[in-house]
Structure 1
Amino acid sequence: MQALSKKTLTALVIILGTFFVILFGTLNYYFVNRTAPNVRIGNVSLANKKISDSHELIAAETNIFSHSPVIFYIEGVTVESDLQSLGIKMNEGETLEIVKRLGKSPDSWKNVVFWLESLFISRQISPQYSLDISKFTETTGAILSEFETQYQDAAITFKNGAFEIQKEQTGIVINREKMANDIKKNIQSLSNSPVNLQMVSAEPAIKTSQAQRVLEKITDFEKRNIALVNNNQKWQISGKNLADMLEFQPENQLAAPYIKVSLVSDAFVIKSTRLAIDPEPQLRVILSSNKIDAFVESISEAIDIKTINAKLRFEGGKVVEFTPAQDGQELDIAKTNKLIYESLFDSDQDFAKTITITLPVSTTRAKVEGDGVGNLGIRELVGRGISYFSGSIANRIHNISLGAGRISGTIVAPGEVFSFNNSVGEVSAATGYRQAYVISSGKTVLDDGGGICQVSTTVFRAALDAGLPIVKRTAHSYRVGYYEQGGYKPGIDATVFAPAVDFQFKNDTEHHVLVQTVVDRANAKLQVDFYGTGDDRKVEISQPVVSNITPAPADRYQDDPTLPKGTVKQVDFSAQGAISVFTRKVYKGDKLLIDDVFKSNYRPWQAVFLVGTG
């Protein structure tokens, strides 16, 4: 055979090159908007179809499949569900995108090879879908759980004062891995063939031998007692409450509890959470973080106090806006949990005795703001007085409110003597007071400002409580029932009658004292608060000792021509005579600052009735 001439070879190369160029061009042109050869989805061929036609075919097939039932076959029983209930959603758009990309590589040579291979190789496209695993698990559990017998772990119960071990039991459950794979195969082939469910044995995670080892660790837990204390507050964990907080975990796997403890009526049961661990895990006893956190957080609700900063605003020489400082406190929950855990599992503890834990509580000092409140030292409550005025006539209540408002906002400087008469100002009709009963010249008569002694009495009680020196105090001539309301005994009152009779106390602290009043008409209650800076004074006030009780004189009736004939009006009220004595001691550290004796000599008082003769 003669060798091809150079011209012939050149011509051949040109012819072949031209052929392949034409072939590439033709194939690229033909398949630019078509599906590759030999492509199928389910039982439907998409080969050489226009993309729009392929889209319609994919949509039709997935729609039919989506609305077909999913059939489970188990032990001769058929159970039906559907893709939507199982959380499976077909995605025809993503499926079409996969089909469109077949044979559409930027590399033309690869595309030609792909198209040529497609003449001999069939390609099955897997439909795209999304899966809601939570919904899948929930639905399969709901429709198939009746065919299963769950395994039972070995358990520990505490009942009637003793621990018992319940042996484990093997379960029979559906092989869910095989079930999921079979459903996946049906989706890939768009087939609604029945899913044959396989039953398998489910071995308990916790064996009796493991529970026995745990039991050895907790036999004395019902005897353990822990007391948590904060000042006068106390909480206890013991017995069943303590057992309810226990959990047991494998030494090398802390992600999930191995056994959980829960109360069932008068018993607690230790239940398990299965873990796939090989070899058999070694268990350890711990406290349930959720339960101990909940318990300690309930304690923190009783302890925690929000910090409130002091606020003070002056107007016209008096305080018109005041917010007392309140130091905050907060329980350290994490540290408390740690202290409980360490105390509970300390092998050196004597569990025959109650373990006492002092709770870690931090304090945050309140800040002060506004108009020099920090310089004045007015930041906290240092004394409080309370009295009641139930049964008072309207005018008396008016006068109490007016007088209390006049002294409220008064600031007493360090070393200054507070005068009630100076603070309240003139008491007369001209200053807004109304007529109510007062004691004057040995009689109970109507006069301007009746009831002002309710205010002076309450200020006296606040000064007593604050531990401040009493400079002037005069008891009433006779016992007044208002000042014995609320459980107070006779003797803790202070009368005023300007200018002769005054009530005075001295601010012997190093900071200013603010007098604030609160009138609670709904509960007929007057409250006087002193605010300043506490200096660790301790006040001890004895209960009044009442003696020499003498009966009230007989009622007296006297004619009054100003009243209509036959009218009887009571203008004075009877009261027993008595002597009342109480003491007050004020300490600062071990030093006695004040040693008071307050004595009140009350005269017996007769009731007086006016009889109209007019």
Structure 2
Amino acid sequence: MIVAVGAYFGVDVIYARRVLPGVQFLEIDLGGRTRSQAVQLISKRVDGLPLGNIRLEFEGQSWEMDPNQFGFELDGSKLADEAILVGRRGQFAQRLSERSFALVGTHQPIVSETDLVHSFNRPKLNQYLSEIGSRIVKPQRDAKLTIKNNRATEFMADQAGQTLDMNKTVELIARNLLNPAPIVLPITTRPATVTLAETNTLGINTLIARGVSNFTGSPRNRRHNIATGAAKFDGIIIAPKSIFSFIRALGAVDGSTGYLPELVIKGDKTEPEFGGGLCQVSTTAFRAILNGGLPVVERRNHSYRVAYYEPPGTDATIYQPYPDLKFTNDTPGSILMDTYIVGNELHFDFYGTDTGRTIEMTGPYVSNITDYPEPIYIDTSTMPVGGIKQVEIAHRGADVVLYRKVYQNSQLLYNDTFKSHYIPWPAKYLRGVEEANKVEADLNNVLPTEAGQEQTNLPIE
């Protein structure tokens, strides 16, 4: 320590008003230079220096920004001042540490705490950041919950307002022009004035689970049935310790309840019926049940793999009066179902009491894969002669297993295994001929090929 302190004070004498040895800017050695000499060297180096892209990040989103498009110019005087300060700022320990690095020639100027920019196009940068801000902004929202006959007739979860802090963002960019590390965008938040917990005494206070599925490529009737079916569950409140039956809550499925005919899987056939597409709703609910760590009482997979429900093993089929989808609300509070559609995605959100559970799911694991059967052609006189129309897509058979462990307070609460068996399914085509038995099929309700494909990158068990 005596030697170090002696060296510490000796440096002050030898390098008074000069940059300490070992300090560099890019590849320029600034050690021993006066401020004016450092300014001259740095200014010459940064004049016209192309700056590398800066990566801006926020909650999974990212943007690559080219600072050269906004006229950023480094300030040689400020960089020289920064170099002079190395080993001369902060508390004794910081100064000693910086000087130790400088004396062995391994120190680069610390530039993260100062604005090194001489000039830039602020209006242009503001416009660019405003576009990013529009993808980050969230409006402040107070919670609303009105309950009639044990169902929410008005519901809105609280949400804190969120906006991009433009001034801090500009400051971070200016300070980090030479720093390759990504910049996490700063935001300004405004909490809601009314929280969900303040709207009720049922323990409905936070989001406890979410299930999502994608129905891209669905025909018009199927989309209609998905929206109609999902609305049946929107606002339902499930009491603690009760078993929820999907079929019971769904009620009658026919034209009188707003459904349209669409393809459904019945045994070894796929036929148009009222309510085809409702399994998209039950599958989405099943995923919320899984993610919430709730006990599954009853669930059955589809006969064959359906592209809308990939990955396999995470689907749940329903059909009046059986099979059903059932689960238990084993939380201390009630659970409120909130259903909605965003684009081609159906969402099931469960709101209730946070139990502190952690969910660990592994899989799905696929085994015993069997290939498609030979395609089947059905002759019909209801189509132009020679015409061919695919009415069912081929599917491989497989066995699938999904494991779920539910922990509460670090203790294993549930250890579940969900097994699914999918049979191989042939492609089926209608083929137009002059004379044949009439085939009952709505060609507008055929599953399109753009509905997606089976996932093939799943682990094999």
Q: Give the TM-score normalised by structure 2.
A: 0.61
Offset at residue 391 of structure 1 (A): 1.2
Task: Name the CA shift for 1:454/1:212 in 2 (closer, same or farther; >3 Å).
Answer: closer
Candidates 151, 166, 170, aligned match of 2:35: 166
Determine the structure 1 residue equivalent to 2:421.
Answer: 601
Candidates 106, 110, 135, aligned match of 1:240: 110
Candidates 436, 457, 474, aligned match of 2:262: 436
Candidates 197, 220, 225, aligned match of 1:394: 220
In 2, Cα distance between the equivalents of 1:374 and 1:401?
28
With CA pairs under 8 Å and 6+ residues apart, which has the higher RCO, 1 or 2? 2
In 1, Cα distance between the equivalents of 2:288 and 2:86?
61
Offset at residue 569 of structure 1 (A): 2.9
Contact 1:223 1:239 in 2 (8 A): no
Contact 1:436 1:451 in 2 (8 A): yes
Candidates 536, 543, 554, aligned match of 2:374: 554
Candidates 534, 542, 559, aligned match of 2:362: 542
In 2, Cα distance between the equivalents of 1:165 and 1:221?
19
SS in 1 for 2:88: helix
In 1, Cα distance between the equivalents of 2:392 and 2:242?
38
In 2, Cα distance between the equivalents of 1:569 and 1:167?
82
Contact 2:87 2:95 in 1 (8 A): no
Task: Name the CA shift for 1:213/1:590 in 2 (closer, same or farther; >3 Å).
Answer: closer
Letter of the 2:416 counterpart: D
Task: Name the CA shift for 1:379/1:305 in 2 (closer, same or farther; >3 Å).
Answer: farther
Question: Does structure 1 residue 513 correspond to structure 2 residue 335?
Answer: yes
In 2, Cα distance between the equivalents of 1:564 and 1:304?
54
Contact 2:305 2:395 in 1 (8 A): yes
In 2, Cα distance between the equivalents of 1:421 and 1:445?
20
In 2, Cα distance between the equivalents of 1:411 and 1:243?
53
Contact 1:221 1:243 in 2 (8 A): no
Determine the structure 2 residue equivalent to 1:580.
Answer: 400
Letter of the 1:478 counterpart: Y
Question: Does structure 1 residue 492 correspond to structure 2 residue 361?
Answer: no
Contact 2:212 2:347 in 1 (8 A): yes
Candidates 250, 254, 260, aligned match of 1:424: 250
Offset at residue 467 of structure 1 (A): 0.8
Determine the structure 1 residue equivalent to 2:233.
Answer: 407
Offset at residue 320 of structure 1 (A): 2.8
Task: Name the CA shift for 1:411/1:552 in 2 (closer, same or farther; >3 Å).
Answer: same
Task: Name the CA shift for 1:166/1:373 in 2 (closer, same or farther; >3 Å).
Answer: closer
RMSD of aligned C-alpha atoms?
Answer: 3.9
Offset at residue 518 of structure 1 (A): 1.3
Alignment of 1:165-564 (within 5 A): 165-166=34-35, 217-218=88-89, 239-242=109-112, 244=114, 262=116, 309-315=142-148, 317-326=150-159, 367-368=194-195, 373-484=199-310, 489-520=311-342, 523-564=343-384
Alignment of 1:11-26 (within 5 A): none
SS in 1 for 2:316: coil
Task: Name the CA shift for 1:307/1:572 in 2 (closer, same or farther; >3 Å).
Answer: closer
SS in 2 for 1:244: coil
In 1, Cα distance between the equivalents of 2:86 and 2:423?
78
Letter of the 2:315 counterpart: D
Contact 1:578 1:601 in 2 (8 A): yes
Determine the structure 2 residue equivalent to 1:12.
Answer: none
Task: Name the CA shift for 1:161/1:223 in 2 (closer, same or farther; >3 Å).
Answer: farther
Contact 1:553 1:604 in 2 (8 A): yes
SS in 2 for 1:422: helix
Q: Give the unaligned 5+ runs of structure 1.
A: 1-153, 169-210, 225-237, 246-261, 266-302, 330-361
- Which aligned runs of 4 or more in structure 1 are off by greater than 6 angstroms? 154-158, 211-215, 219-224, 303-307, 362-366
SS in 2 for 1:375: coil
SS in 2 for 1:400: helix
Offset at residue 318 of structure 1 (A): 2.5
What percentage of residue pairs aligned between the two structures are identical? 39
Contact 2:313 2:420 in 1 (8 A): yes
In 2, Cα distance between the equivalents of 1:328 and 1:564?
59
Q: Give the unaligned 5+ runs of structure 2.
A: 1-16, 38-81, 99-107, 120-135, 163-188, 436-461
Task: Name the CA shift for 1:562/1:441 in 2 (closer, same or farther; >3 Å).
Answer: farther
In 2, Cα distance between the equivalents of 1:503 and 1:222?
68
Task: Name the CA shift for 1:396/1:369 in 2 (closer, same or farther; >3 Å).
Answer: closer
Q: Give the TM-score normalised by structure 1.
A: 0.47
